[in-house]
Chains A and B, each alone.
Chain A
Amino acid sequence: MRTPLYDEHRRLGARMTSFAGWEMPVYYSGIADETLAVRSAAGIFDLSHMGELLVSGPAALDSIQYLTTNDASRLDIGQAQYSLMCSGNGGVLDDLIVYRLGKHSYMLVVNAANTDSDACWIMRNKVGETQLKDESRTTASIAVQGPAAAAILSSAVSFDIDSLGRFRVQCGDVRGIRCRIARTGYTGEDGFELYCSWTEAVALWRAIVEVGGRLGARPIGLGARDVLRLEAGYPLYGYELTNSITPVDARLLWVVQFDKGDFLGKQAILTARESGPQKLLIGLEAIGKCVPRHGYNVRAAEDEVGRVTSGTFSPTLGKAIAMAYVCPEYSQTGRELDVVIRGKPCKCRIVPTPFYRPLEAAHPGKPTRRRARSAS
C-alpha cells in the first residue's frame, strides 16, 4: 500500500522499504544525518500509514474507558493522552493516543500494523450507543518535530501556535489546508502531528517542506524515526510491547488508572502488579564498541537473564543504546550486564530512560520534570 506521499518520497530520492504492508521511506540523506537534523532543527515525517479510528456517540467515553487503560474522562475537548488497549489476560494489544475532538467524539491513533485488528477489537467490545468509523484510508498525517517545529508551524497556521499546549489538539488551516493540529509526537522533541484529508496530503507536505526548509527542517524516514523514539525511551509495538507483555513488565503502570472503573485487562494487570513482574523493561548503554540489537541475549556472568527488544547506535549520544527485558533481580540502574553478540560479550550498563532529554541538552544541570512512573 502507498500513502498519498509516495511519489514525493521517490522524488526526494528516498530509499524505500515495506513496513506493515506500506511502502515507506527508510531514509532520504541518511539515518544519522536525519536524526541529528531533528535534534538540531526539525524533521518532517509521513505518518499516513498510521490508523485513525473515530469513536463517537453518547456512550463513546464509556466505550473508551472500557477499552483502554488510561482515564479518558480527564480529557477536555481538545486534549489527548497516551494509553494502552489490553486483552483480558493483561497483555498489550496496542499503544495509542486518544484525542478528544468533541463532546462525544474521540480519535484514536493506533499503530499501522494493528489498525485492522484494533478496529475489530473495538467493534466487539464497545458498549452502548457507540459508533466506530475507521478513517485510516481517508486521513493522512504529517509530523513536524524538533526545536524549530513551533517556529515553522507559526508561519503557516491561521492561529497563534503557542496557544496550543502539549497534548492539545485543535482544528486550523495550514497554508489554507484544513487540519487537526496536535502537539504530540514520538521523538522526545517539541512537535506537532497534523491530520488532513488523504487528498490534500501532497499539498500539505509541499507547504510544510517549503516553510520548514527555510528553518533547517528536512524530510525524515522511518530509520531515523526509530532511532529518535529509542533515544526518547519510547516503546515500539511488536518490540517492547506485545500481547505477552503486561503494562507492569513494560513499566507503563503510569498509563493504567485502576480507580476509573472497570476496563479490559484490569484484573489481570492488578494480579500482575501484586505478584510482581516476571521480567522488567530496562535501558542499556554499551560500554564497549558494540551495538546490542533486537533478539540478542542478555547475560549476567554465565546466567541468561534476558533479551534485547530494540537497539541501535545513537548518533545523538555517540554510543549504542538498547532496551531489553531482564529478570527483575538484575534490573538495578548502574548494574553491568553482557549482551551476547555473535558469541562474544558486549559490556553494557543499565541506565534510566529516556536516554536523551532535549531540555537537559539545552541547559545541562537544570532540573527537568520527569514523567511520573509508578513503582513496579
Chain B
Amino acid sequence: MHPEDLKYATTHEWVRIEDDLATIGITDHAQSELGDIVYIELPQVGTTIHKGGVFGTLESIKTVSDLLAPVSGQIVEVNEELPETPERVNESPYSAGWMVIIKMDDPSESEDLMSADDYETFIQER
C-alpha cells in the first residue's frame, strides 16, 4: 500500500532517509485528498528548516495546503522542475513528485516518524 522503505509524518509527508539526507514528498493519500495540484511553492536551497515548520505550499483547485518539515536541517536540493509540472505530485507522489532534500541536523529526529504499516493504520482511523 505505502512504500515500505519510507517513513511517514502525521501531516502526510513521506521521508526517504539515506545517512543524514532526508528526501521528502507527500503521500498518495495526501495528493488524493488535495485533488489536482495547480501551483507548488518550494523553498530555496540553503534555507534552514525546523521540524514542524512550513517549507512550502501546495495549491489545489479548492484549497491551499502547507508542507510541513518532518525533520530539522538545511535544504540542500529542491526539485526545480516541480513548480512547472505540479501534476507530478498527483501522478507520482513517491518518485517524480519528490520535493526537497534536507541535510538533517539530528537524524534521530526521524525515529518518531511512522512506518508504512503505522501510517496505514493512522489514515484508516481518521
Residues of chain A having any CB pair with chain B under 8 Å? 27, 30-33, 223, 227, 289-291, 293, 312-313, 315, 320, 341-342
Contact = CB atoms under 8 A, between A and B. Distances in A.
A266 to B, nearest CB: 38
A49 B59 CA distance: 29
Nearest to B87: A32
A32 B35 contact: yes
A312 B35 CA distance: 13
Given A227-B61, A313-B59, A31 B35 contact: yes
- Secondary structure type dominating chain A contacts: mixed
B39 A289 contact: yes
A313 B38 contact: yes
A291 B36 contact: no
11 contacts: A30-B35, A31-B35, A31-B62, A32-B35, A32-B36, A223-B61, A289-B39, A291-B39, A293-B64, A313-B39, A315-B36
A320 B41 CA distance: 15
A129 to B, nearest CB: 47
A31 B61 contact: yes
Contact of B38 (A33, A291, A341): A291
A30 B36 contact: yes
A32 B64 CA distance: 15
Nearest to B86: A289
A33 B61 CA distance: 11
A32 B62 CA distance: 10
Interface in B68-114: 83
A312 B39 contact: no
Given A313-B38, A315-B36, A320-B38, 14 more contacts: A27-B35, A30-B35, A31-B35, A31-B36, A32-B35, A32-B36, A223-B35, A289-B39, A289-B83, A290-B39, A290-B59, A291-B38, A313-B39, A341-B64
